[in-house]
Amino acid sequence: MLDDGTRLSGLIVEVEAYLGVEDRAAHSYGGRRTPRNEAMYAAPGTAYIYFTYGMHHCANVVCGREGEPVAVLLRALEPLEGVGAMRRFREATRRRGGLRDRDLASGPGRLCRALALDLSLNGVDLTTDPRLWIELDRSRPFPAGGLVNTPRIGVEGAGEPAASRLLRWHVRGNAHVSRRRRGE
DNA sequence: ATGACGATTTACT
DNA sequence: GTAAATCGTCATA
């Protein structure tokens, strides 16, 4: 929700899990606890948003018990409400235009840009904050094709076995999933 | 104080 | 396909 009351929403179509102190690909690996990743140790339902590569934000939902740094990275949305506003946020950082709907939030950095998520929302309670929340839409049927389960993206540097663990899920056949790999 | 690097994206060859 | 963009964070000294 923007300050002016505009609703920006979408169906979550791609996520990855980062599992606590033993997951070498996670910011919390080895019990690392710093000002940046402090939100990972907060109560479940907390937003963990961080800045990376000098220009992008990534948004997570904390899922572990308080003190247990488990989080789910939101990697892609199928835009539903506020598509025009999302497009404006996204185009503000590109030279060339021509953005298709499927490119608005098809990646963790793109998703944050489309929803205007930044560090000001790091650590907020997703169950009470009026600006950012998650809903279960019971009127929407579960995707007919189900989910696809694969290794996570961009964690090759973490080495094995972390890099090969099947901790990424996306809606099968959904056009709004980030696509860097062939055959998905 | 310094330096290497990142849960990425974009543009260019 | 490859490389640039771009800077806060964290480990090392």
Whether A169 and A12 have beta carbons less than 8 Å apart is answered as: no
Would you tell me which residues have their CB within 7 A of strand B?
A 16, 18, 25-28, 37, 40, 48, 52-56, 58, 60, 71, 73, 90, 93-96, 103, 107-111, 113, 152-155, 157, 178
Residues in chain A: 184
The answer, yes or no, to whether residue A80 has pLDDT greater than 60, is: yes
Sorted by sequence, the CB contacts under 8 Å of residue A82 that are 6+ apart come out as: A2, A6, A7, A8, A9
Backbone dihedral angles phi then psi of residue A69, each to the nearest 5 degrees: -80, 75
Give the pLDDT of residue A124. Answer: 98
Cβ of A51 near strand C (under 7 Å)? The reply is: yes
| Nucleotide whose C1' lies closest to the alpha carbon of residue A51 | C8
Q: Would you state the structure tokens that stand for residue A80, as one six-digit string?
A: 């539903």
The answer, yes or no, to whether residue A95 has pLDDT greater than 90, is: no
Whether A78 and A176 have beta carbons less than 8 Å apart is answered as: yes
- Separation of alpha carbons A22 and A100, rounded Å: 39
- Read off the pLDDT of residues A125-153 as tens digits, 9 standing for 90 and up: 999 999 999 999 999 999 999 999 999 99
Cβ of A36 near strand C (under 7 Å)? The reply is: yes
Give the pLDDT of residue A94. Answer: 85
Structure letter (DSSP) for residue A57: E
Q: What is the pTM of this model?
A: 0.95
Confidence of residue A98 (pLDDT cuts 50, 70, 90): confident
Of A170, A140, A149, nearest to A74 by C-alpha is A170
Mean pLDDT of chain A: 95
Range list of β-strands (E), A63-146: 70-81
Based on the number of CB atoms within 10 Å of its own CB, is A168 exposed (0-12), middle (13-18) or buried (19 or more)?
A: buried
Q: Would you state the structure tokens that stand for residue A34, as one six-digit string?
A: 């710093």
Range list of β-strands (E), A20-55: 47-52
| Nucleotide whose C1' lies closest to the alpha carbon of residue A74 | B7
Confidence of residue A184 (pLDDT cuts 50, 70, 90): low
| Nucleotide whose C1' lies closest to the alpha carbon of residue A37 | C9
Of A182, A179, A19, nearest to A107 by C-alpha is A179
| Nucleotide whose C1' lies closest to the alpha carbon of residue A36 | C9
The answer, yes or no, to whether residue A100 has pLDDT greater than 60, is: yes
